[in-house]
Amino acid sequence: METEYDEARFRNEIAEALTGDSAIRMIDFYIGTGERLHVTGAGIRQIGALIRSGSIKIVVDDARLNASGAGAEYKNQLNTLFVRTEWVRTKKELEKAKIEQQRDLENYLKWSPDPQPKPGGSDPSVFRSDSRRRGNLVHEATHALLDLRGFKVYRARNEVAAFLAMMVYLLHKRELESLLLGVFQKPTGLEKRADEVAREKGLYTKLGVRLTRADLQPLLRGVFKEYGDDAFGRTPADGID
Ligand SMILES: [Zn+2]
Protein backbone atom coordinates (compact mmCIF):
# COMPACT_ATOMS: atom_id res chain seq x y z
CA MET A 1 0.00 0.00 0.00
CA GLU A 2 1.14 3.53 -0.60
CA THR A 3 -0.01 4.94 2.75
CA GLU A 4 2.82 5.04 5.23
CA TYR A 5 1.70 4.52 8.77
CA ASP A 6 2.89 3.52 12.17
CA GLU A 7 1.99 -0.16 12.41
CA ALA A 8 2.34 -0.46 16.19
CA ARG A 9 0.19 2.60 16.75
CA PHE A 10 -2.44 1.40 14.30
CA ARG A 11 -2.62 -1.96 16.07
CA ASN A 12 -2.98 -0.26 19.46
CA GLU A 13 -5.76 1.97 18.24
CA ILE A 14 -7.69 -0.97 16.78
CA ALA A 15 -7.18 -2.78 20.11
CA GLU A 16 -8.35 0.29 22.02
CA ALA A 17 -11.53 0.50 19.91
CA LEU A 18 -12.38 -3.02 21.12
CA THR A 19 -11.25 -2.79 24.74
CA GLY A 20 -12.08 0.81 25.64
CA ASP A 21 -15.60 1.19 24.26
CA SER A 22 -18.29 0.69 26.89
CA ALA A 23 -21.01 -0.04 24.29
CA ILE A 24 -19.28 -3.38 23.66
CA ARG A 25 -20.17 -4.48 27.20
CA MET A 26 -23.83 -4.69 26.22
CA ILE A 27 -23.17 -7.62 23.88
CA ASP A 28 -24.33 -10.79 25.65
CA PHE A 29 -26.32 -13.53 23.94
CA TYR A 30 -26.23 -17.24 23.13
CA ILE A 31 -26.50 -18.78 19.68
CA GLY A 32 -28.45 -21.98 20.23
CA THR A 33 -29.75 -23.41 23.48
CA GLY A 34 -26.43 -24.82 24.75
CA GLU A 35 -23.81 -23.03 26.82
CA ARG A 36 -21.05 -23.09 24.24
CA LEU A 37 -21.83 -20.30 21.81
CA HIS A 38 -21.93 -17.43 24.27
CA VAL A 39 -21.04 -14.15 22.59
CA THR A 40 -20.09 -11.48 25.12
CA GLY A 41 -18.50 -8.07 25.31
CA ALA A 42 -15.90 -9.55 27.65
CA GLY A 43 -14.96 -12.04 24.92
CA ILE A 44 -14.67 -9.28 22.36
CA ARG A 45 -12.49 -7.24 24.71
CA GLN A 46 -10.29 -10.33 25.00
CA ILE A 47 -9.85 -10.19 21.22
CA GLY A 48 -8.80 -6.55 21.56
CA ALA A 49 -6.15 -7.62 24.07
CA LEU A 50 -4.87 -10.30 21.67
CA ILE A 51 -4.60 -7.68 18.95
CA ARG A 52 -2.64 -5.44 21.29
CA SER A 53 -0.23 -8.25 22.18
CA GLY A 54 0.22 -9.18 18.53
CA SER A 55 -1.25 -12.70 18.87
CA ILE A 56 -3.82 -11.56 16.34
CA LYS A 57 -2.16 -9.71 13.49
CA ILE A 58 -3.52 -6.66 11.70
CA VAL A 59 -2.63 -6.45 8.02
CA VAL A 60 -3.62 -3.64 5.67
CA ASP A 61 -4.18 -5.32 2.32
CA ASP A 62 -6.80 -4.16 -0.17
CA ALA A 63 -5.93 -6.83 -2.74
CA ARG A 64 -6.83 -9.60 -0.34
CA LEU A 65 -10.20 -8.01 0.46
CA ASN A 66 -11.16 -7.32 -3.14
CA ALA A 67 -12.16 -10.94 -3.75
CA SER A 68 -14.98 -10.73 -1.18
CA GLY A 69 -15.55 -6.98 -1.36
CA ALA A 70 -15.49 -6.83 2.45
CA GLY A 71 -14.27 -3.78 4.39
CA ALA A 72 -12.39 -6.05 6.76
CA GLU A 73 -12.03 -9.77 7.15
CA TYR A 74 -10.76 -12.05 9.88
CA LYS A 75 -8.98 -15.18 8.64
CA ASN A 76 -9.07 -18.05 11.11
CA GLN A 77 -6.11 -20.03 9.82
CA LEU A 78 -3.86 -16.96 9.84
CA ASN A 79 -5.19 -15.41 13.08
CA THR A 80 -5.14 -12.20 11.10
CA LEU A 81 -7.55 -9.33 10.62
CA PHE A 82 -7.19 -7.83 7.14
CA VAL A 83 -8.37 -4.24 6.77
CA ARG A 84 -8.53 -1.78 3.92
CA THR A 85 -6.21 1.14 3.31
CA GLU A 86 -9.15 3.49 3.87
CA TRP A 87 -9.13 2.49 7.57
CA VAL A 88 -5.76 4.15 8.01
CA ARG A 89 -5.21 7.86 8.09
CA THR A 90 -2.39 9.07 5.87
CA LYS A 91 0.46 11.00 7.52
CA LYS A 92 -0.85 14.16 5.87
CA GLU A 93 -4.35 13.69 7.32
CA LEU A 94 -2.86 12.90 10.69
CA GLU A 95 -0.82 16.12 10.67
CA LYS A 96 -3.93 18.10 9.73
CA ALA A 97 -5.95 16.50 12.54
CA LYS A 98 -3.20 17.27 15.06
CA ILE A 99 -3.06 20.90 14.00
CA GLU A 100 -6.87 21.17 14.28
CA GLN A 101 -6.80 19.62 17.71
CA GLN A 102 -4.09 22.02 18.84
CA ARG A 103 -6.08 24.96 17.49
CA ASP A 104 -9.26 23.78 19.25
CA LEU A 105 -7.36 23.48 22.49
CA GLU A 106 -5.80 26.94 22.16
CA ASN A 107 -9.21 28.48 21.38
CA TYR A 108 -10.69 26.75 24.35
CA LEU A 109 -7.95 27.92 26.71
CA LYS A 110 -8.33 31.47 25.41
CA TRP A 111 -12.04 31.63 26.27
CA SER A 112 -12.32 29.33 29.22
CA PRO A 113 -11.86 30.74 32.71
CA ASP A 114 -10.81 27.31 33.89
CA PRO A 115 -7.67 26.11 32.07
CA GLN A 116 -8.63 22.44 31.80
CA PRO A 117 -7.99 20.74 28.49
CA LYS A 118 -11.26 20.17 26.68
CA PRO A 119 -12.12 16.49 26.33
CA GLY A 120 -12.75 15.19 22.83
CA GLY A 121 -12.08 17.51 19.93
CA SER A 122 -10.70 16.32 16.60
CA ASP A 123 -9.46 12.79 16.76
CA PRO A 124 -5.80 12.58 15.77
CA SER A 125 -5.98 8.77 15.67
CA VAL A 126 -4.20 6.91 12.92
CA PHE A 127 -7.26 4.60 12.76
CA ARG A 128 -9.93 6.31 10.73
CA SER A 129 -12.87 5.33 12.84
CA ASP A 130 -16.52 5.96 12.17
CA SER A 131 -19.32 4.03 13.82
CA ARG A 132 -19.94 1.83 10.86
CA ARG A 133 -16.30 0.87 10.71
CA ARG A 134 -16.29 0.20 14.45
CA GLY A 135 -19.39 -1.95 13.94
CA ASN A 136 -17.46 -3.79 11.26
CA LEU A 137 -14.63 -4.27 13.70
CA VAL A 138 -16.99 -5.77 16.30
CA HIS A 139 -18.37 -8.09 13.59
CA GLU A 140 -14.90 -9.38 12.70
CA ALA A 141 -13.87 -9.60 16.37
CA THR A 142 -16.86 -11.90 16.91
CA HIS A 143 -15.49 -14.25 14.24
CA ALA A 144 -12.11 -14.10 16.00
CA LEU A 145 -13.80 -14.90 19.32
CA LEU A 146 -15.32 -18.09 17.91
CA ASP A 147 -11.88 -18.97 16.52
CA LEU A 148 -10.28 -18.34 19.92
CA ARG A 149 -12.78 -20.66 21.60
CA GLY A 150 -12.20 -23.28 18.91
CA PHE A 151 -15.84 -23.53 17.83
CA LYS A 152 -16.11 -25.30 14.52
CA VAL A 153 -19.48 -23.86 13.62
CA TYR A 154 -21.17 -23.58 10.26
CA ARG A 155 -20.26 -20.38 8.51
CA ALA A 156 -23.95 -19.42 8.62
CA ARG A 157 -24.03 -19.50 12.44
CA ASN A 158 -20.71 -17.69 12.61
CA GLU A 159 -22.15 -14.89 10.46
CA VAL A 160 -25.37 -14.74 12.46
CA ALA A 161 -23.37 -14.27 15.67
CA ALA A 162 -21.24 -11.53 14.09
CA PHE A 163 -24.17 -9.59 12.66
CA LEU A 164 -26.12 -9.68 15.93
CA ALA A 165 -23.10 -8.54 17.98
CA MET A 166 -22.61 -5.66 15.59
CA MET A 167 -26.26 -4.53 15.82
CA VAL A 168 -26.26 -4.61 19.64
CA TYR A 169 -23.06 -2.57 19.63
CA LEU A 170 -24.46 0.03 17.21
CA LEU A 171 -27.66 0.37 19.23
CA HIS A 172 -25.75 1.14 22.42
CA LYS A 173 -23.48 3.45 20.45
CA ARG A 174 -26.71 5.28 19.46
CA GLU A 175 -25.80 4.77 15.83
CA LEU A 176 -28.36 2.15 14.91
CA GLU A 177 -30.99 4.62 13.72
CA SER A 178 -28.63 6.39 11.36
CA LEU A 179 -27.55 3.03 9.96
CA LEU A 180 -31.12 1.82 9.43
CA LEU A 181 -32.22 5.14 7.95
CA GLY A 182 -29.25 4.97 5.60
CA VAL A 183 -27.94 8.37 6.73
CA PHE A 184 -24.39 7.64 5.59
CA GLN A 185 -24.82 4.45 3.61
CA LYS A 186 -27.80 2.17 2.99
CA PRO A 187 -28.12 -0.79 5.38
CA THR A 188 -27.58 -4.19 3.79
CA GLY A 189 -30.32 -6.81 3.71
CA LEU A 190 -28.49 -8.83 6.36
CA GLU A 191 -28.15 -5.81 8.64
CA LYS A 192 -31.90 -5.22 8.42
CA ARG A 193 -32.69 -8.87 9.16
CA ALA A 194 -30.24 -8.88 12.07
CA ASP A 195 -31.93 -5.79 13.49
CA GLU A 196 -35.36 -7.44 13.23
CA VAL A 197 -34.18 -10.55 15.10
CA ALA A 198 -32.34 -8.49 17.73
CA ARG A 199 -35.39 -6.28 18.30
CA GLU A 200 -37.90 -9.11 18.41
CA LYS A 201 -35.84 -11.31 20.74
CA GLY A 202 -34.90 -8.53 23.16
CA LEU A 203 -31.16 -8.43 22.46
CA TYR A 204 -31.19 -4.65 22.69
CA THR A 205 -32.60 -4.59 26.21
CA LYS A 206 -31.68 -7.89 27.88
CA LEU A 207 -28.45 -9.70 28.65
CA GLY A 208 -27.98 -13.46 28.22
CA VAL A 209 -30.78 -14.03 25.69
CA ARG A 210 -30.78 -17.57 24.25
CA LEU A 211 -31.60 -17.72 20.57
CA THR A 212 -33.05 -20.91 19.18
CA ARG A 213 -32.75 -22.02 15.61
CA ALA A 214 -36.33 -20.90 15.03
CA ASP A 215 -35.51 -17.43 16.42
CA LEU A 216 -32.60 -17.16 14.00
CA GLN A 217 -34.44 -18.52 10.98
CA PRO A 218 -35.10 -15.22 9.16
CA LEU A 219 -31.46 -14.19 9.54
CA LEU A 220 -30.14 -17.65 8.61
CA ARG A 221 -32.25 -17.57 5.47
CA GLY A 222 -30.63 -14.26 4.54
CA VAL A 223 -27.15 -15.65 5.16
CA PHE A 224 -27.87 -18.73 3.00
CA LYS A 225 -29.07 -16.45 0.24
CA GLU A 226 -26.03 -14.18 0.49
CA TYR A 227 -23.29 -16.78 0.93
CA GLY A 228 -24.73 -19.71 -1.02
CA ASP A 229 -22.90 -23.00 -0.52
CA ASP A 230 -20.23 -21.22 1.55
CA ALA A 231 -22.77 -20.87 4.35
CA PHE A 232 -22.72 -24.66 4.86
CA GLY A 233 -18.95 -24.88 5.21
CA ARG A 234 -17.55 -25.17 8.70
CA THR A 235 -15.34 -22.40 10.01
CA PRO A 236 -11.85 -23.79 10.58
CA ALA A 237 -11.73 -22.65 14.20
CA ASP A 238 -8.20 -23.69 15.06
CA GLY A 239 -7.70 -21.46 18.08
CA ILE A 240 -5.29 -18.55 18.54
CA ASP A 241 -1.90 -18.99 20.12
ZN1 LIG B 1 -18.68 -12.04 8.81
Give 18-59 pLDDT, tens digit per residue: 999 999 999 999 998 888 899 999 999 999 999 999 999 999
Asked if residue 117 and residue 70 are part of one domain, the reply reads: no
240 located within any domain: no
Residue 83 CA to ligand 1 centre (angstroms):
13
Asked if residue 186 and residue 99 are part of one domain, the reply reads: no
Residue 94 CA to ligand 1 centre (angstroms):
30
> pTM above 0.85?
yes
Asked if residue 66 and residue 23 are part of one domain, the reply reads: yes
Sheet architecture: strand order including 38-40: 38-40, 28-31, 209-211
Q: The domain containing residue 118 runs over which residues?
A: 90-124
130-148 core/surface letters (b: 16 or more CB in 10 A; e: else): ebbbbbbbbbbbbbbbbbb
User: Which 8-state DSSP code applies to residue 23?
Assistant: G
172 located within any domain: yes
Sheet architecture: strand order including 72-75: 57-60, 80-83, 72-75
Asked if residue 223 and residue 104 are part of one domain, the reply reads: no
Q: Say yes or no to pLDDT of 121 above 70.
A: no
| Cα–Cα distance for residue pair 189/193, rounded to 1 Å | 6
Residue 72 CA to ligand 1 centre (angstroms):
9
Residue 111 CA to ligand 1 centre (angstroms):
47
Highest mean pLDDT among 110-124, 151-165, 198-212: 198-212
Residue 234 CA to ligand 1 centre (angstroms):
13
Of 124, 139, 170, the one marking the end of a domain is 124
Residue 115 CA to ligand 1 centre (angstroms):
46
Measured CA distances, 11 to 71, 122, 148, 157 (Å)? 17, 20, 18, 28
Of 98, 124, 150, the one marking the end of a domain is 124
Residue 81 CA to ligand 1 centre (angstroms):
12
CB 226 within 8 A of CB 70: no
Asked if residue 73 and residue 31 are part of one domain, the reply reads: yes
Average pLDDT, the chain: 88
Residue 159 CA to ligand 1 centre (angstroms):
5
* Local confidence band at 118 (pLDDT 50, 70, 90 cut-offs): low
> Which pLDDT score is estimated for 68?
80
Asked if residue 216 and residue 203 are part of one domain, the reply reads: yes
188 located within any domain: yes
**How many domains does the chain fold into?**
2
Burial class (CB in 10 A: 0-12, 13-18, 19+), 43: buried
| Cα–Cα distance for residue pair 105/223, rounded to 1 Å | 47
Residue 12 CA to ligand 1 centre (angstroms):
22
Residue 183 CA to ligand 1 centre (angstroms):
23
* Local confidence band at 3 (pLDDT 50, 70, 90 cut-offs): low
> Which pLDDT score is estimated for 1?
45
What is the longest distance spanned by two Cα atoms in the chain?
64
| Cα–Cα distance for residue pair 230/131, rounded to 1 Å | 28
Average pLDDT over residues 137-142: 97
Residue 140 CA to ligand 1 centre (angstroms):
6
Residue 43 CA to ligand 1 centre (angstroms):
17
* Local confidence band at 84 (pLDDT 50, 70, 90 cut-offs): very high
Judged by DSSP in three states, 8 sits in: helix
| Nearest CA-CA partner of 15 in 47, 55, 60 | 47
| Cα–Cα distance for residue pair 236/238, rounded to 1 Å | 6
153 located within any domain: yes
> Which pLDDT score is estimated for 114?
67
